[in-house]
Structure 1
Amino acid sequence: MLTPTTSARDRRNNLLTTQEARHIAHTQTEQLRNEIILAKVLESARLFHVNQKEEAYKKASEVLSLTEPSGAPLHRLSRILMNGIQRRCYSQTEFLGNLYNDETNPIAMIKAYDVLAKHTPFIRFAYNAVNLAILAKACNTNRLHIIDIGIGLGNQWSALFALLQGTSFYPKKIHITGIDIPGTESTLNDVRDKLVNEAKDVGIEFSFTPIVAKAEQMAFKEIDRSSGEFLVINAALALHHTPSGDAIKNDQFSRAALLLQLRQLEPQLLTMVEPDSNHNLTSFEDRCYEAFQHYMHIFNAFEYLFPRHLKERAILENDFFGREIINIVTADGPDRVERHERKEVWAKQMQEAGFAHIDNIFERTGRTLRNIVPTSPPFQIFQSNQALCLGYNNSPLLAASCWRSAA
């Protein structure tokens, strides 16, 4: 006969076994549900691609009925893409994934970008990895000239000046040629004023030349140069916007032609940071799946870093990264401006243009970088043959690399 103690232990063990079984069943159900959602997402994208828009719209509606707006990352990303496809089903020209559209409050966008810059490692890694490389190569030069393709708000150079605070090992004269797309004239003037003041605080003789143009349409040889300057060309999260594949209307304005132009300037250093994903020349099915996997890593990172109902997280997901994946999946030809490549592909393109990879530079700066951008699992900073990478759960998201003119 069982004692009361033994009977209580058995009941507890049975309860635990029941709870474990329920947990396993729930997990398996969720996994199956997620597989169904992903299959429907990819099918909706395929239907849209082959111009079966009514069926694509219906399939997107099925996904929306299975997902929660503030749910798990898979739900959130799926809803963004399906809403984008539904809007594109009845519009050929609207909502192609233009990041800064009129529907988004610019102040809210700035606040969301501030969250991205300060509370995630993405921007800090991108800027500081190459800034430290620039200082490692140019710290003893008298005059540093940086041609920055896609300067944006100039925050990378604010980060550079912050690195120089309290040190004496830096170029005494820095000139930046800041390039950005048409429509940014006022912003470039604001960037100039900001950087002039920041450089003054550090004690650097600083000058700035704004250029409003698409990089692939520029004549880089016409940029003013000074004798004896150390020339750096910087492209942080910019080159993937240049025409490649079916986006090329004129070979003269292609990505390959741009890289050849940059090589002809004979820079002592070219620094670049790019998303490490393949969204350019693959088949539609591969492009769609690859894009979904890449952005799932980013959305999973947000799940790790931010509460689900944070307003800035929703803006980052919908109005930054969400628009990118909509552009990748629903646009073709010149309309598809998000054309990311794997680091191996970039390496091949750079070598074909006449650049040589600079080895070991990140080994010299790695300890300082990890102090500025401390990472712990699920984030990692690691070196590959082609680049220094920022990863999430060992999947590379960003790749920084340094190049010089080949002999």
Structure 2
Amino acid sequence: MFTSEKFALRKVVDDNLSVAPSETRSNLIKDHQKPFHSNFENLGKLYFDFTSPGVQNTSKATDFQLKEDEKGSAFSSLGIVKDYASRPRKMNADTMNVPSSNNEDPETNDQKLSTTARIRMASQEFIDSYSSKDDETSQLSHPFAVSFSGLSDDEAKDIQLLLTLLASAEKTGQKQFKCALKLIELCSNMSLNEGNPVERLVYYFSEAIHMKINREMGRLACNERESMQIFDLREALMNVDTCISEFHLKVPLSQVCQFSSIHTIFENLNKATKIHVIDLESCRAGIQYLVLMQAIASCSEWHIDHIKITAVATSSDPKIKDTCKRLADFAKSMNIPFSFKIIMIGDVLDFNVDMIERNEGEKVAVYAPFFLSTLIAKPKSLEYLMRVIRKIKPCITVITEVEANHTSSAFVDRFTEALFFYGALFDSMSDCLADDDLNRKVMESVCYGKAIRNIVAADGDERTIRHICVDVWRKFFQRFGMLEIELTDETLNETNLVIGNFKCGNSCSVLVDGGCFLVEWKGVPIFSVSAWKFI
């Protein structure tokens, strides 16, 4: 009989399977284009900036004070609920089509299993396999015998690879490092950063587990594979910003977040004659404000006396000054009175309301994409910032964040949550970008690879990349008297039109969760967009 300790990873995997969203292709709205959407589409080819959720503050971390709700009841048997794949999502959706033993020949199945579906199938097999093994490492060369019929050779190979990765994570969580390293070696032999999405995913996760083991054993030597990869991408890494911006032009997830956020700000300004938007750490290209200004200018009945943008930044970046000039030139071409101010602070605790220049009659909005989560590791700074925002008294605060739970102190929890999350991201890159696309390679190497290593391998103060789900943010915001504002049907319709512009857009969808939007890839939540007012 297995001990409760040995159930650790299996319980976390089971929890993820039991709530795993089904894969679905949303019906996109194909009605006539509206002015705001047209403005966004026309500006889409301009330099697009999007702060990566994978690159975050590296200051010291402390335990975040908010905790996720406890998950379900304790894992009490070796079996797994067999109908996990057909369980409904949080909202109504189609169920995932998973091949079974009575499927037709795989060549007749036109629908290729997504990366996330392969992870789910591997997870089910992982739990079932352990239920019938006393010594799961007795045959390390083939630790699992995948017997799924109805799968292509590539799909079966990927599931075998994922099973080996899951086994290495469980052994690492049990501190059986010798066995874990043997399994990691198998993963290394079967995965490449140039392979398919599963191979690339396993490449980065096995690298992170190896780093975790090295740290646990007091060995901090540089990972040879990582060094080789960086060397191969040296030329591209010299121009990371361009690669990242090009990446976000081709993958819809980021543009959907940015568009729905700006449309929500547009709606809540409510024809104000004096507009002031306070931007927290996202104003390096400013396309969102080009969209906003053109949308306002297109409303003939909306008279504008002045638009002001205040960019708050914690790191010096010459691109912000370039953005200032570009926005000013654009505003001039639209005959819009405009001003731009940069507030540079060394630390959030240096920020105060007196730094914000307010004019009488201004209507203020705060836009904070992917910034609050950088302060989860510094709860005092996060709470301080929220108090400053409350003093500013904005009419609307729009927040975009990663929709995942990467804050657990337990290794197996973080590993499993991250595996499902980044599996969906890698799948989106595979669908939207060519296998040899340099922008994809840079994004995976610089942003996602770095984030995976930090989430999986680091502990305590060194674990600086932390994300929480929107339900946890809701509890946090309630403490500051914030009321969630429902994003409108018009914003949803316009956002779906943006999604429809992408060739791979049928895999991206927006789910309404309470008042906010969850931006999903094949049914897996990736980002949340929410709007708030202070009571």
Match of 2:421 in 1: 294
Q: Is the 8 A contact 2:387 2:480 kept in 1?
A: yes
Question: Shift in Å at residue 87 of structure 1?
Answer: 5.9
Match of 1:228 in 2: 361
Task: Say whether 1:392 aligns with 2:521.
Answer: yes
Give the counterpart of 1:125 among 246, 250, 256. Answer: 256
CA distance in structure 1 between the aligned counterparts of 2:283 and 2:184, rounded to whole angstroms:
35
Question: Shift in Å at residue 343 of structure 1?
Answer: 0.9
Structure with higher RCO (Cα < 8 A, 6+ apart)? 2
Unaligned runs of 5+ residues in structure 1 are: 1-15
Q: Deviations over 1:108-141 (max 9, x none)?
A: 4233223322211122112111111111111411
Give the counterpart of 2:184 among 60, 76, 81. Answer: 60
Match of 1:368 in 2: 494
Output aligned runs, 1:1-400, within 5 Å: 24=151, 26=153, 29-30=156-157, 32-40=159-167, 42-43=169-170, 46=173, 59-84=183-208, 86=210, 89=214, 90-91=219-220, 105=236, 108-155=239-286, 156-164=288-296, 166-168=298-300, 169=302, 171-184=304-317, 186-213=318-345, 216-222=348-354, 223-242=356-375, 244=376, 247-248=377-378, 252-253=380-381, 255-281=382-408, 283-359=410-486, 361-374=487-500, 376-400=505-529
CA distance in structure 1 between the aligned counterparts of 2:418 and 2:296, rounded to whole angstroms:
38
Whichever residue aligns with residue 294 of structure 1, its letter is: F
Q: 1:41 to 1:320 in 2, by over 3 A?
A: farther
Match of 1:12 in 2: none
Unaligned runs of 5+ residues in structure 2 are: 1-103, 109-147
Q: Deviations over 1:157-192 (max 9, x none)?
A: 2343354464434744111111122333x2322221
Q: Is the 8 A contact 1:68 1:75 kept in 2?
A: yes
Q: 1:41 to 1:241 in 2, by over 3 A?
A: farther
Q: Is the 8 A contact 1:256 1:349 kept in 2?
A: no
CA distance in structure 1 between the aligned counterparts of 2:223 and 2:383, rounded to whole angstroms:
29
Q: Is the 8 A contact 1:69 1:75 kept in 2?
A: yes
Q: What TM-score, normalized to structure 1?
A: 0.81
Q: Is the 8 A contact 1:154 1:195 kept in 2?
A: no
CA distance in structure 2 between the aligned counterparts of 1:146 and 1:18, rounded to whole angstroms:
53
Match of 1:9 in 2: none
CA distance in structure 2 between the aligned counterparts of 1:322 and 1:18, rounded to whole angstroms:
32
Question: Shift in Å at residue 103 of structure 1?
Answer: 6.1
CA distance in structure 2 between the aligned counterparts of 1:44 and 1:109, rounded to whole angstroms:
36
Q: Deviations over 1:27-59 (max 9, x none)?
A: 784365134233145247647xx6x87876654
CA distance in structure 1 between the aligned counterparts of 2:201 and 2:496, rounded to whole angstroms:
30
Structure with the largest fraction of helix: 1
Q: Deviations over 1:256-307 (max 9, x none)?
A: 3322321232211000111110112453321121011101001011111122
CA distance in structure 2 between the aligned counterparts of 1:299 and 1:56, rounded to whole angstroms:
24
CA distance in structure 1 between the aligned counterparts of 2:424 and 2:106, rounded to whole angstroms:
33
Whichever residue aligns with residue 526 of structure 2, its letter is: L
Q: 1:335 to 1:172 in 2, by over 3 A?
A: farther
Q: 1:54 to 1:104 in 2, by over 3 A?
A: farther
Whichever residue aligns with residue 69 of structure 1, its letter is: N
Q: Is the 8 A contact 1:127 1:159 kept in 2?
A: no
- Percent same amino acid among aligned pairs? 19
Q: 1:135 to 1:28 in 2, by over 3 A?
A: closer
Q: Is the 8 A contact 1:147 1:232 kept in 2?
A: yes
SS of 1:272's equivalent in the other structure is: strand
CA distance in structure 2 between the aligned counterparts of 1:144 and 1:313, rounded to whole angstroms:
37
Q: Is the 8 A contact 2:207 2:453 kept in 1?
A: no
Question: Shift in Å at residue 240 of structure 1?
Answer: 0.7
SS of 2:348's equivalent in the other structure is: helix
The count of corresponding residues between Structure 1 and Structure 2 is 376
CA distance in structure 1 between the aligned counterparts of 2:106 and 2:252, rounded to whole angstroms:
41
Q: 1:139 to 1:72 in 2, by over 3 A?
A: same
Q: Is the 8 A contact 2:407 2:468 kept in 1?
A: yes
Q: Deviations over 1:318-356 (max 9, x none)?
A: 112222222222223443332211111111111112111
CA distance in structure 2 between the aligned counterparts of 1:366 and 1:213, rounded to whole angstroms:
35
Match of 1:13 in 2: none
Q: What TM-score, normalized to structure 2?
A: 0.63
CA-based RMSD of the aligned residues comes to 3.3
